[in-house]
Amino acid sequence: MAWRRHLPALATAAAGINEACDAWDAVSDSLCDADGWPLDDKVYGDGKVKRDAEAWKHAEVFLDHGPEVLAGVRAAADGADYVEGPISDDLRRIRGIDTILIRAEELRHEWNQVMALMDGSQPSVLHLYQEQAEEHRNTEGWHYSHELGYKGPALVRVGEYLAHRADTERLAQTERARVALTRSTHKHHCCVPASPSVTPASHPPTLGHSR
Q: Residue 32 pairs with which residues in a beta bridge?
A: 38
Q: How many CB atoms lie within 10 A of CB 58?
A: 23
pLDDT band at 73 (very low <50, low <70, confident <90, very high): very high
pLDDT at residue 126 tops 90: no
Ranges 76-90, 98-112, 156-170, 181-195: which has the least confidence: 181-195
Structure confidence by residue, pLDDT tens digits, 139-153? 999 999 999 999 999
pLDDT for the residue numbered 53: 97
Confidence bin at 61 (pLDDT 50/70/90):
very high
Please, are residues 162 and 77 in contact by the beta-carbon 8 Å criterion? yes
Q: Which residues contact 35 (CB under 8 A, 6 or more apart)?
A: none
Q: Which of 46-50, 67-71, 83-87, 125-129 is least confident?
A: 125-129
Pick the more confident residue, 171 or 50.
50
Q: Which of 75-89, 117-131, 159-173 has the lowest mean pLDDT?
A: 117-131
Cβ within 8 Å of residue 106, ≥6 positions away: none
Q: Are 70 and 101 in contact (CB under 8 A)?
A: yes
Mean pLDDT of the chain: 87
Stretch 21-31: mean pLDDT: 94
Lowest mean pLDDT across 54-63, 93-102, 189-198: 189-198
Residue 210's pLDDT is what?
A: 45
Helices (H) and strands (E) in the chain, counts: 6, 0
Terminal-residue alpha carbon distance, the chain: 94
Query: Is the whole model's pTM more than 0.85, yes or no?
Result: no
Name the H helices within 77-122: 79-83, 88-93, 97-117
CB distance 3 to 10 below 8 Å: no
